[in-house]
Structure 1
Amino acid sequence: MLSVSKRALRVGIPSRRSTSIVSTLRYKSSWSTAVETAARLVTPSSILKDPISLVSHEMSQLAANIGTLIGSGHPTLNRISAYYFESQGKKIRPLLVLLLSRAISEIPLEQRNRIKIDDLDIPEQPVYEGTKSLGAILKEQNGAISPLRILHGINPNIILDPLTKPHETLPEFDSKRGILPKQRRLAEIVEMIHTASLLHDDVIDNSDSRRNRPSGNIAFNNKMAVLAGDFLLGRASVSISRLRNPEVIELLSTSIANLVEGEFMQLKNTVFQPNEDLIEEDTKKIPQPTGAIDTKVHEYSVQAPQSIQGHEITHEQQVDAAFEYYIHKTYLKTAALLSKSSRSAAILSGANEDVIENCYQFGRNVGLCFQMVDDILDYTQTSEALGKPGNADLKLGLATAPILFAWRENPELGELISRKFKQEGDIEIAMEQVQKFNGLVKTQKMAEDYCHKALENLRNVLPESDSRSALEFLTNAILTRSK
């Protein structure tokens, strides 16, 4: 079994005292190194003979597996659905799921007794006279509950298709390392959901590139990109349901809703908005509710602070509320999928509540750290280096952590933030103020804090192992990546 040396683990780990973004340049290769090291733990040993294929082979296997789940009866839909899977993205989400699954498998079975662990985990329904059990139906129909003619609305020409592909027997390499079939499928589902969100995001943001090639909305068109994203979510939903675990189904389905809610929070930009009834730069009034349906927000939302006993809220309170809004929006858009997939991996392993909760917090903290580094890179990297448009956040009018830190020091920036940097020269002023008040350095420090919390989550509940070491290495490398 391949181990990660202590010396390797020290590479890419920034000091808590680090206060300069420039220092990350010393570790610019640590992201690639971390991914390659982690990939060794989920790649058959025969592949390791070819170092160049360490990452590409594992990721191409993931894409190939996903390809078997997303086929449709329309060639153009097939083409755009597979478009983003063809290029080499970070694939950090499925990689974390697989490594976490392996790390949890090091916990003795007698300590993983929350649920019964088996290869299928199919809840049986009552069997009445003259009917077949659910297990028998699934066996006959290769994993589907409904007949294929019902699922497709037409008699299929083949028995196996994307809607009914069963959980295959794992390769010997994976089974020896404790990755369960459903955990492997979980990794594929997570990447499908993430990719669907990218297709939608690129339409919303009017992006022109993704992963160093034209974005889906440019290569095809907006309508096709939106429909392909919807299609991927539909196929992901089928795969989610076939995990046959109600708690995991609930978590993953909610993560899809979280992505949408986070996107709506981003449209608003900050918690302060003069008129909730206006959209599109306050040029369009939305219809008023009729009262037939309760449209009140739930308690798990961020609201703007109100004046207290006639005293207006202070600038400091405004900035604090804006940061709270930013953190929650970041959780919904980025960290929710990571946190809930990490929790799901632990649930499928039968781990106890403490392990499950720490896995959830690990995913949450890693996700927040990941996005904050993205927010830094948007200010510091070129479009060519990122593989997508640079300075996109300010151009879209988004107030991320760097500008919020600058706003705390310079209250006058609030006016630029409220008008979403739309006036000529606003973007240049914002970038200058971010540099002047060390907004990037402060955001880096906040990302480091979340990184250290994620490491604590791992060490709280997971025994020492190669997989945990790789997770720690990957978590640290997130801070020092350059794209």
Structure 2
Amino acid sequence: MITVTELLAPVENDLETLLSDLRSLIGAGHPILQAAAEHLFSAGGKRIRPGIVLLISRALASDGELSARHRRLAEITEMIHTASLVHDDVVDEASTRRGVATVHSRFDARVAVLAGDFLFAQASWHLANLDDLDVVKLLSRVIMDLADGEVKQGLYRYETGQSFETYLEKSYCKTASLIANSSRAAGVLSACSEVQLDGLYQFGRQLGLAFQVVDDILDFTGSEQQLGKPAASDLASGYLTAPCFYAMEEHPELKALIDRQFSGDQDLDQALSMVRSSKAIPRTRELAETFARESREAIAWLPDSPSKRALMELPDFVLSRLY
């Protein structure tokens, strides 16, 4: 199975530059915020999102070279992503991420919220300095979507009456919007046509949805080690995902367990076995495969290059987490 590092090989040096640039961009502001930001950027992580921006930027450049604005866009993408993780961890009360203590558990929740805000503000400032209104609109929309997704997730807990569309919308806001809009923004900076811009957006959108749907499957099938959190923790928290919707179609009695928020002793175990014994997981896997295929098809027009080949392999890499 191909690894992320192998996949991002065409932009490996660019990603190293990105990390050192991010540290200097955060600047010598408030010592605690600086410590929090430093801690975040050294916490490892796959850097898939800025990697995608860099791969698209190289794939679109006739000479394969990156402009300073494309590099900055990748940095802004990583800043926005990191800021959202800090806030997510506070909301979810997670004590570790990627095996490293989260900002709020290392400092406190107040500092973590401020550190996230600080990163969003920094990202917005650097975004404005790109001097491209279309790009500013695309990435401002992402920041709105991230907050919207987080709010929706809280509002719809244990809500069995919500539609499958609501679940997909929330998944788009939380996971796909950043990849979709930053992919399109890379095309804007490369002066792509409207049709090409739509293709880049579609690539990021479907890839992000495939990623989220795979995550939702792993919540039921993955080990705690693989997930970095207890298995079925989404279901236990009342977050209803594709496997759950599909299982409710086969087992209407699952709805009653969720409606009473698994208050009975065996409720959660019963719910889990209903999901696992139904056709929910295979059906969700098909959904992820559809998104992955659509993602690949959306960028078939890119000229052949190592960067394009890496982008075309990304959807399969996302699915490979299932096997």
- What amino acid is the match of 1:218? S
Report how far residue 397 of structure 1 moved: 1.1
Matched, 1:183 2:24: no
Please name the residue that 2:33 is paired with: 77
Q: Which has the higher helix share?
A: 2
Aligned to 2:266: 425
In the superposition, the TM-score normalised over structure 1's length comes to 0.64
Select which of 120, 124, 131 maps to 1:237: 124
The size of the alignment, in residue pairs, is: 323
Query: Does 395-404 or 408-417 show the bigger shift?
Result: 408-417
CA distance in structure 1 between the aligned counterparts of 2:262 and 2:190, rounded to whole angstroms = 48
What does residue 196 of structure 1 align with?
83
Q: Report the 3-state secondary structure (helix = DSSP H, G, I; strand = E; otherwise coil) of the residue aligned with 2:252.
A: coil
2:90·2:109 contact (CA, 8 Å) conserved in 1?
yes
Question: Counterparts of 2:56 and 2:91 in 1: how far apart (Å)?
Answer: 33
Cα distance in 2 for residues equivalent to 1:392 and 1:59: 32
Q: Do 2:128 and 2:136's aligned partners in 1 also have CA atoms closer than 8 Å?
A: yes
- 1:99 aligned partner: 55
Q: Within 2, Cα distance between the matches of 1:105 and 1:438?
A: 45
- Unpaired segments ≥5 residues, structure 1: 1-28, 45-57, 107-175, 274-317
When residues 423 and 191 of structure 1 are mapped into structure 2, their CA distance, relative to the original with a 3 A threshold, is: farther
- Render the CA deviation track for 1:75-133: whole Å, top value 9, x for unaligned: 12111122221122121101111111111224xxxxxxxxxxxxxxxxxxxxxxxxxxx
Q: Which has the larger displacement, 444-453 or 418-427? A: 418-427
CA distance in 1, matches of 2:198, 2:171: 20
Q: Is contact 1:212–1:384 with CA below 8 Å preserved after alignment? A: no
Q: Distance in 2 between matches of 1:389 and 1:270?
A: 18
Q: 1:327 Cα deviation (Å)?
A: 0.5
* Cα distance in 2, alignment partners of residues 203 and 332 from structure 1: 18
Structural mapping, 1:49-68, within 5 Å? 59-68=15-24
Spell out, residue by residue over 1:342-391, the C-alpha distance to the aligned partner (whole angstroms, 9 max, x if none). Answer: 11000100010110000001110000001111111222223322334443
**Which amino acid in structure 2 is aligned with residue 90 of structure 1?**
K
Q: Which amino acid aligns with 1:226?
A: V
Tell me if structure 2 keeps the 8 A contact 1:270–1:322.
no
Which letter does structure 1 place at the counterpart of 2:302? L
Which position in structure 2 is the counterpart of 1:215?
102
Map Cα deviations across residues 29-58 of structure 1 (whole Å, 9 max, x no partner).
Answer: 33x1xx2333321135xxxxxxxxxxxxx6
1:258 equivalent in alignment to 2:145: yes
Alpha-carbon RMSD across the aligned residues, in angstroms, is 2.0
Unaligned 5+ segments in structure 2 are none
Letter in 1 for 2:49: R
Rounded to whole Å, the distance in 1 between the matches of 2:40 and 2:203 is 27
Structure 2 matches for 1:25-424, cutoff 5 A? 29-30=1-2, 32=3, 35-44=4-13, 59-106=15-62, 176-269=63-156, 322-424=163-265
Preserved CA contact (<8 Å) 1:208 1:218: yes
Any conservation in 2 of the 1:330–1:371 contact (CA below 8 Å)? Answer: yes
Residues 350 and 454 of structure 1: CA distance in aligned 2, closer, same or farther (over 3 Å): same
Question: Match of 1:474, as an amino acid?
Answer: L
Q: Please say if residues 220 and 276 of structure 2, whose CA atoms lie closer than 8 Å, have aligned partners that are also in contact.
A: no
Q: Is the 8 A contact 2:157 2:237 kept in 1?
A: no
Contact 2:7 2:314 in 1 (8 A): yes
**Structure 2 residue 323 is the aligned partner of structure 1 residue 465:** no
Distance 2:71 2:23 in 1: 14
What letter matches 1:89 in structure 2? G
Residues in 1 aligned to 2:119 and 2:32: alpha-carbon distance in whole angstroms: 14
1:411-437 deviations in whole A, cap 9, x for unaligned? 122223334445433321221011111
**Seq. identity, %:** 41
Letter in 2 for 1:225: A
Give the letter for the 1:262 counterpart. Answer: G
Q: Which amino acid aligns with 2:209?
A: L
State whether residues 207 and 389 of structure 1, in contact with CA within 8 Å, keep that contact through their aligned partners in structure 2. no
Quick one: which of 312, 319, 323 aligns to 1:479? 319
- Output the TM-score relative to the length of structure 2: 0.94
**Bigger relative contact order (CA 8 A; separation at least 6):** 1
Rounded to whole Å, the distance in 2 between the matches of 1:458 and 1:431 is 38
Q: What amino acid is the match of 1:67? A: R
Q: Is the 8 A contact 1:365 1:450 kept in 2?
A: yes
